[in-house]
Chain A
Amino acid sequence: MICILAAVVLICCCALVCLSCGSTRDSGRFLPWFIVPAAILGLAGAGASLWEGTVHTVAPPVALPLGTVLLQLDPLSCVFLIPLFLLSGLASLAAPARMRLLADQLRHGRHAFFFCLLIAAMAMVLLAADGALFLILWEIMSLAPFFLLSHSDKTGDERFAGWIYLVAAHLGALPLLLLFAMLTTEAGASDFTSYMNLAGHANAGIFLILALIGFGAKCGIIPLHMWMPEAHSSAPGHVAVLLSGTMLNMGMYGIFRIVSLFGPGDPWWSYTLMGVGAFSGVLGILLGAAQSDMKRTLAYSSAENMGIICMALGAALLAGRNGASVAMALLLAGAFLHMWNHSLFKSLLFLAANAVKEGTHTTQIQHLGGLYKRLPLTGGCFAMGAAAIAGMPPFNGFMSEMLIYLGFALGSDAARGTESSLIFWAAFFVLGCIAGLALFAFARLFGLAFLGSPRGRESDDACEPETQLRLIMVFLAASCLWASLAGPFLLRALRIALQWFSQTLYPSAPLVEADFVLGGDLLAWYALTGCLLLLACALIAGGRRFLAAKYPPEEGITWDCGYCRPTARMQYSGGSFAHSLASILQPLIRARLRLPRMDAFFPSEATASMEVADWPTSLWNRLLFRPVAFLAESAKGLQRGLVNLYILYILAALLIALFWALEWT
């Protein structure tokens, strides 16, 4: 606890130092000096208490309106603190160079200040054990990215991204405000321990729904993801790491916390969580697979991964209800591990995509291609991240999905012959679909952007990013592999947290050590399979090299069925790759095709394009935002600037109040 508080204090100091430097060019250079030690401190503290499973409470005697300052470090917070500190350390290392590149658009001091503030607020949110304190910190955490996103308000896209983020953050905070207000009035006090007495309360379902809306908007569960594609695609690399790698987890943390406080709830809790997760997972990867922008694809796939975690949580509740403790252990372990894994590979992918953007000034797939030859290191790291997120062995993405798959299978076995087993089967199938589509999306993304030949002139003078960022990417890529080999160790690290979590849900029958044996074995076997796969690759490649020495290979142009002048424009583009998927699943993707009409005998130059509008967002626009905007516009008519009119309003208001008071008495 002390370590983590010290880390937070260190980060706050850094924020003040950066602010005091004002907008001088290089205030970003302080970031690593403060945040890296803070991250190491925090990692040590969080890791130690995760391993031991201790709960620390600190209640400084500071008064807070409507609440108290109460900080608590429990295993659930530790699970979320670890990726937070790891990634903020890495992000701060990457930050100075990114800020230097944006030098002319950026107020450095302000940017660095809010960067630190975001990290500190996230760490404190995880420690807060009081409703009022939680809300205040949550609001700080939600507002800080706005200032990081709107660093340059020169382009319309960035202004729009910042604006939509602000709106979404506020709309998301509303249900939370309502939730904590309800909880505090019902419980009579605002700390989490008194909230716990409300478990089994008649309104517990409403609490879950409010939490799902409020926290779901933060972790980008579709259809509450409006802000995510915009914000993630316009954020610079180090900010995108914080947004996608850690801030999405905060939303997940909220859902886990509410479930642990009021859990396990009625069966419909599990159905809702699984349904929301499945919807978000399938739709996220479908929309992501059809995007033409690399970063937007990555943003949608975040919605997919959060959906998987949500599904696993719902299934774990269901399995626990059916008494399938091994399945519950597998599902919870899968959910937590997937959260960790997602933080690793998603930040790697965002950093690599950002390196591409810095090198080529675009992330549009139709302008890229052949980047692997220009940026072998970035490309290699991106390939590893893409393989991990597409669920390829021997990387870590499949490791957690595998636990979830097996959890579904065991859960259906335990609920043999009941409706729950059907639900587990459906979840299993949906997870399979998500995995299959993820392969599609990431083979397309990596293959089109990095392989083949360049589609435009943008990548002509692309060069690798500076050494520091390259090292960070290599570190992250290596940890994607390392994490899958160290699976049993990670499960051991999580075990106590999982036991603690199940204890809060099912105090009578918490998970015991034996429930984790199957998961540990599976992870160990997976690591072994991964090693065997790599070994087999190495052996066969060795044999191949031996043959190549005997019969030396040549180079030639792409054969292409004998067509001797293939051009880069003849390659498959992002749109053509996704076209058949979009046409089969038109009701879910709603792509708009623009095809040229050829009516003359000699058709002239024409273009065809495919546009994938985000239909959940347009639905929101139609149902909510436009009517609200219309109301607001029409309300403008009331305010005409005439004093006599205002006096009339006052008179009318007085009269109404008078009549109302008379009626009342």
Chain B
Amino acid sequence: MIKPYPAQYCASIACLLLSLLLAPLLFGIINRVKAKVAGRQGRPLLQLYFDINKLLRKNSVYPQTSTRFFRIAPVAGVAAALAALLMLPFGGVPAVLSFPGDFIVMPALLAFSRYMLILAALDTGSAFEGMGAARESLFSAMAEPILIFCLMVLAYASREYSLSLILGGLPATLWLAEWPMYLLLAIALFLLLLVENSRIPVDDPNTHLELTMIHEVMILDHSGPDLALLEYSASLKLWIFCLIISGIAIPQAGVWGFAERSSPAGSFPSFALEAGTMLLMILCIAALVGCVESAMARLRLERVPQVLTLAGSFACLAALSLWR
């Protein structure tokens, strides 16, 4: 466990606020990369901020069939993403909440937000949204065990059971010794990112055919501040996945001699440097998602389980490479 001390808490909270502030930027980056590759100018980077700002100042329209669940889902989505962010370290900066076993609770929080969203979609009584709900719950049922298994393998590798120690401050010595495993897991988690966040090979957020969508079709009936909350929680979820992957991909610290695992205090510049590298990595992952989206077409729905199987195989290979 990490011994708390004030400076670290301040850094943790600062990083949390940074995450909350910057999360909507990721969609802007993805769209900008896609536009550049396609030779277009593209939307402004801050488009989602503008959208959310505008949506918050509009009124909602609720379907007549809908009940309380339709209204709770956006709120629960943001709350669950917030609680999950509380447990995720930002590079070497430990999370606000860190306890042994939080790597199991964090995916459950994501599952909770998804569960509420599925119920909200079914609440509209619409054929399209029911279809989206059925697909989302099917794919997430297959993605969830892989995500939690990846985190378990990481825990096994580092012999720690708290995300702050599993992901944050991954010592470079460990990384260099086991780099194939970390690489395989990063690939598996990247595939999961594409599936869980409804990105292109799995789902196309920009298509004009609702029949082919998963996430977007579930929120067809939400409007106004509710839609803003849903968009925001989607961006937080993407941020969370990017955070996990960059936590694995960057061997922290040790090499350069600051913020060692158990050392109580890192100086401000070291924290800033860590946070800066993380931030850069997260933006790179978003750009990578944009590249994948430009290079690929959407897969047929029957092939999505194959993507998940691929992710599962990478995770299993990683585990086996660790076991030997």
Chain A residues with CB under 8 Å of B69's CB are: 372, 383, 451
Chain B residues with CB under 8 Å of A555's CB are: 61-64
- A584 CA to B109 CA in the complex, in Å? 27
B99 lies within 8 A of chain A by Cβ: yes
B78 lies within 8 A of chain A by Cβ: yes
User: Are the C-beta atoms of A447 and B122 separated by less than 8 Å?
Assistant: yes
Q: Which residue of B lies closest to A449 (CB)?
A: B122
Q: Which of the 9-residue segments A10-18, A45-53, A567-575 touches chain B?
A: A567-575
A537 and B122 in contact, given A451-B67, A558-B64, A572-B130 (Cβ under 8 angstroms): no
Chain A residues with CB under 8 Å of B112's CB are: 392-393, 533
Chain B residues with CB under 8 Å of A576's CB are: 130-131, 134
A61 lies within 8 A of chain B by Cβ: no
Chain A residues with CB under 8 Å of B57's CB are: 551
B288 lies within 8 A of chain A by Cβ: no
User: Are the C-beta atoms of B127 and A570 separated by less than 8 Å?
Assistant: yes
Contact with B along A437-471 (1 / 0, CB 8 A): 10110011011100111000000000000000000
User: Are the C-beta atoms of A446 and B119 separated by less than 8 Å?
Assistant: yes
A105 lies within 8 A of chain B by Cβ: no
Q: Which of the 9-residue segments B137-145, B184-192, B234-242, B271-279 touches chain A?
A: B137-145
B56 lies within 8 A of chain A by Cβ: yes
B135 lies within 8 A of chain A by Cβ: yes
User: Are the C-beta atoms of A435 and B62 separated by less than 8 Å?
Assistant: no
B206 lies within 8 A of chain A by Cβ: no
Partner of A452, one of B78, B105, B125, B131: B125
User: Are the C-beta atoms of A439 and B114 separated by less than 8 Å?
Assistant: yes
Q: Which residue of A lies closest to B63 (CB)?
A: A558
B58 lies within 8 A of chain A by Cβ: yes
Q: Which residue of B lies closest to A404 (CB)?
A: B104
User: Are the C-beta atoms of B83 and A532 separated by less than 8 Å?
Assistant: yes
Partner of B59, one of A387, A432, A451, A553: A553
B205 lies within 8 A of chain A by Cβ: no
The smallest C-beta distance from A263 to any residue of chain B, in angstroms, reads 27
A560 lies within 8 A of chain B by Cβ: yes
Q: Which of the 9-residue segments B22-30, B154-162, B168-176, B257-265 touches chain A?
A: B154-162
Q: Which residue of A lies closest to B222 (CB)?
A: A559
Chain A residues with CB under 8 Å of B323's CB are: 417, 421-422
B292 lies within 8 A of chain A by Cβ: no
Q: Which of the 9-residue segments A142-150, A215-223, A539-547 touches chain B?
A: A539-547
Q: Using a CB-CB cutoff of 8 Å, which residues 570-626 of chain A contact chain B?
A: 570-572, 576-581, 584
The smallest C-beta distance from B158 to any residue of chain A, in angstroms, reads 10
A351 lies within 8 A of chain B by Cβ: no
- A246 CA to B311 CA in the complex, in Å? 40
Contact with B along A386-397 (1 / 0, CB 8 A): 010011110000
- A428 CA to B149 CA in the complex, in Å? 7
Partner of A536, one of B82, B145, B161, B210: B82
- Is chain A's binding surface mostly helix, strand, loop or mixed? helix
A115 lies within 8 A of chain B by Cβ: no
- A417 CA to B321 CA in the complex, in Å? 11
Q: Which residue of A lies closest to B106 (CB)?
A: A529
- A448 CA to B122 CA in the complex, in Å? 7
Most chain A CB inside 10 Å of its own CB: which residue of B78, B83, B140: B83
- A408 CA to B151 CA in the complex, in Å? 13
- A139 CA to B64 CA in the complex, in Å? 54
- A570 CA to B128 CA in the complex, in Å? 9
Partner of B79, one of A540, A556, A566: A540
User: Are the C-beta atoms of A571 and B319 separated by less than 8 Å?
Assistant: no
User: Are the C-beta atoms of B145 and A435 separated by less than 8 Å?
Assistant: yes
Chain B residues with CB under 8 Å of A370's CB are: 65, 125
Chain B residues with CB under 8 Å of A436's CB are: 111, 140-145
The smallest C-beta distance from B244 to any residue of chain A, in angstroms, reads 16
- A409 CA to B75 CA in the complex, in Å? 33
User: Are the C-beta atoms of B108 and A392 separated by less than 8 Å?
Assistant: yes
A522 lies within 8 A of chain B by Cβ: yes
The smallest C-beta distance from A406 to any residue of chain B, in angstroms, reads 5
Q: Using a CB-CB cutoff of 8 Å, which residues 70-102 of chain B contact chain A?
A: 72, 74-76, 78-80, 82-83, 86-87, 97, 99-102
B179 lies within 8 A of chain A by Cβ: no
A548 lies within 8 A of chain B by Cβ: yes
- A547 CA to B225 CA in the complex, in Å? 8
User: Are the C-beta atoms of A405 and B104 separated by less than 8 Å?
Assistant: yes
User: Are the C-beta atoms of A537 and B229 separated by less than 8 Å?
Assistant: no
Chain A residues with CB under 8 Å of B124's CB are: 452, 558, 560
User: Are the C-beta atoms of B114 and A402 separated by less than 8 Å?
Assistant: no
- A436 CA to B305 CA in the complex, in Å? 14
B152 lies within 8 A of chain A by Cβ: yes
- A180 CA to B97 CA in the complex, in Å? 52
User: Are the C-beta atoms of A521 and B99 separated by less than 8 Å?
Assistant: yes
B287 lies within 8 A of chain A by Cβ: no
User: Are the C-beta atoms of B58 and A393 separated by less than 8 Å?
Assistant: no
Partner of B135, one of A425, A532, A580: A580
A443 and B137 in contact, given A413-B156, A547-B56, A566-B127 (Cβ under 8 angstroms): yes
Q: Which residue of A lies closest to B98 (CB)?
A: A525
User: Are the C-beta atoms of A577 and B130 separated by less than 8 Å?
Assistant: yes
User: Are the C-beta atoms of B221 and A443 separated by less than 8 Å?
Assistant: no
User: Are the C-beta atoms of B111 and A559 separated by less than 8 Å?
Assistant: no
Chain A residues with CB under 8 Å of B159's CB are: 413
Q: Which residue of A lies closest to B117 (CB)?
A: A443
User: Are the C-beta atoms of B64 and A556 separated by less than 8 Å?
Assistant: yes
A177 lies within 8 A of chain B by Cβ: no
B126 lies within 8 A of chain A by Cβ: yes
Q: Which residue of A lies closest to B103 (CB)?
A: A409
A537 and B128 in contact, given A447-B122, A521-B100 (Cβ under 8 angstroms): no
- A428 CA to B68 CA in the complex, in Å? 35
Chain B residues with CB under 8 Å of A502's CB are: none
User: Are the C-beta atoms of B108 and A402 separated by less than 8 Å?
Assistant: yes
Partner of A518, one of B82, B100, B119: B100
22 residue pairs of the A-B complex, CB under 8 angstroms, read: A372-B69, A409-B104, A421-B323, A432-B144, A435-B111, A439-B114, A443-B119, A447-B123, A451-B123, A522-B100, A525-B102, A529-B83, A539-B79, A544-B74, A551-B60, A553-B59, A559-B126, A559-B221, A570-B126, A571-B130, A576-B131, A581-B141
List of 8 A-B pairs having minimum Cβ-Cβ separation, nearest first: A572-B130, A432-B145, A447-B122, A452-B125, A536-B79, A436-B141, A551-B59, A436-B144
A residues with CB within 8 A of B: 369-370, 372-373, 383, 387, 390-393, 398, 402, 405-406, 408-410, 412-413, 417, 421-422, 425, 428-429, 432-433, 435-437, 439-440, 443-444, 446-448, 451-453, 518, 521-522, 525-526, 528-529, 532-533, 536-537, 539-541, 544, 547-548, 551-561, 566, 568, 570-572, 576-581, 584
7 other A-B residue contacts (CB within 8 Å) besides A553-B60, A555-B61: A369-B125, A393-B112, A398-B108, A436-B142, A522-B100, A540-B78, A558-B126
